[in-house]
Amino acid sequence: MPPKKRIAIYPGSFDPLTNGHVDVIQRALEIFDEVIVAILRNPSKKSLFSTAERLEMIQHSFNGNDALKVDCFDGLLVEYARIKGAVAIIRGMRAISDFENEFQMALMNRKLYKDVQSVFLMTGLRWIFTSSSIIKEAAQFGGDISDMVPEPVKTKLMEKFPLLEDKLRLKPTKKGTR
Ligand code: PNS
């Protein structure tokens, strides 16, 4: 019998996906056979992008990688992990400030379901300051976030924020600029 696939769930809001998330996903793909990026459907939380838009942006950012799946879930994360047969829940760690909340969530998840392990992956140093919320805030006022998000996310942010669209459309190409 072939060995059982080691599946990890990477849950989150992903409103939207950032290069920091991408970095964590790539690290997780080196460890697990399959990584499921699971978007929480949370009608009580105000989000910029619909769940369907978030799902599509993640799929487009990872086109062609069979080990990566994208899905949505609601209710308890550990219940979703149990149904999927996952062995791990991945969370990205940027700084100490993330720790307390993540620690609390991991312990609660373990209490609720002991057969899934929380695995924390450090993002690359260059993404330590990025978050979906700070990127949305900058983009809203035309801040150039183009090297902080994958291309499909940049396109969608430009659709949402006309100031960003103007800024990036007028941006000179690298060649010939200082
Ligand atoms: O990207 P986020 O917003 O930090 O992700 C938080 C998320 C989705 C991982 C967390 O809110 C979650 O797992 N929600 C589902 C409900 C649940 O199971 N909570 C944990 C038990 S306290």
Nearest ligand 1 atom to the CA of 104 is 22
Is pLDDT above 60 for 55?
A: yes
Is pLDDT above 80 for 171?
A: no
For a ligand 1 pocket test, name from 17, 40, 80, 132 the mutation site with the most ligand atoms within 8 angstroms of its C-beta.
Answer: 40
The residue-averaged pLDDT of 37-41 equals 98
178 Cβ contact list (under 8 Å, min separation 6):
none
The answer to whether the CB of 128 is under 6 A from ligand 1 is no
Active site annotation includes 13: no
CA-to-CA distance for 150 and 131, rounded, in angstroms?
Answer: 13
The residue-averaged pLDDT of 101-113 equals 97
> pTM to 2 decimals?
0.94
The residue-averaged pLDDT of 164-175 equals 77
The residue contributing the CA closest to ligand 1 atom 7 is: 12
Is pLDDT above 90 for 47?
A: yes
If you classify domain 7-128 with CATH, what class do you get?
A: alpha beta
Q: What is the pLDDT of residue 175?
A: 58
**Residue 5's pLDDT band (boundaries 50, 70, 90)?**
very high
